[in-house]
Amino acid sequence: MNIAIIDYKSGNISSVINSFKAVCISKNIKIKIEVTSDLKKISNSDKVILPGQGSFKNCTESLQKIKGLKDTLNEFAIINKKPLLGICVGMQMFADFGFEEIETKGLGWIPGSVKKIDNKNNQYKLPHIGWNELLFASESKLFKNVKEKSHVYFVHSYKFMPNDERFISSKINYSEEIVASVEKDNLFGTQFHPEKSDTVGLKIIENFIEL
């Protein structure tokens, strides 16, 4: 099996790489993991990881700068329906639009938008940084053998708001109800960082690898 971690200059992704390799070593899973922006390698992969750090606008613009990458990801995930995991802003880009800095068009894979968290007139700090407990909204393949109310790690000021709640797999409470993860067919997304979420995060990564 080949897994491609998309490199589109969206920030430091070393922890993503290391966590996937750690799971493969600990579980003796034979997988080739490659960080790449090569369109052919991405197309030929069995699974794709779409990370994202920074703003929705910067991430989408960085992705668009690599000629053909958006179309390749669309073919991989939407046409060929291969498993794809979006992490943090990588998940937010599934939306139609993001409203960080200016209105920016997303990938349009899961209808919805990305808007700023309501911090209740500065009663809650933004960005939301730290651990929060998952509240399951629907059954998810990512959460196999993961207990509800497990704690995972977040760093974000914006939230993904899918139009259809059927695609929401978990939520958290932080000033308001916030989507923590989504799942639609072969598309998986986490607002939290599984690669920074200790043993719970590693289990989620293992579940994605073993899909």
One-letter amino acid for residue 165 of the chain: E
Helices 14-26 and 198-209, packing angle to 10 deg: 70
Q: How far apart are CA 108 and CA 140, in angstroms?
A: 21
DSSP at 149: T
Q: How far apart are CA 210 and CA 205, in angstroms?
A: 9
CATH class entry, domain 2-209:
alpha beta
What DSSP string describes 96-116? SEE-SSS-EE---SSSEEEEE
- The length of the chain in residues reads 211
What is the Cα 145 distance to its own chain's centre? 20
DSSP letter for 94, please: T
Q: Which are the catalytic amino acids?
A: 88, 193, 195
Output the pTM of the full model. 0.97
* pLDDT tens, residue by residue, 126-180: 999 999 999 999 999 999 999 999 999 999 999 999 999 999 999 999 999 999 9
Q: Which residues pair with 133 in a beta bridge?
A: 151
Question: What pLDDT, in 10s, does the model give residues 33-85?
Answer: 999 999 999 999 999 999 998 899 999 999 999 999 999 999 999 999 999 99
Q: Exposure pattern of 166-180 as b/e (b: 16+ CB <10 Å)?
A: ebbbbbbebeeebbb
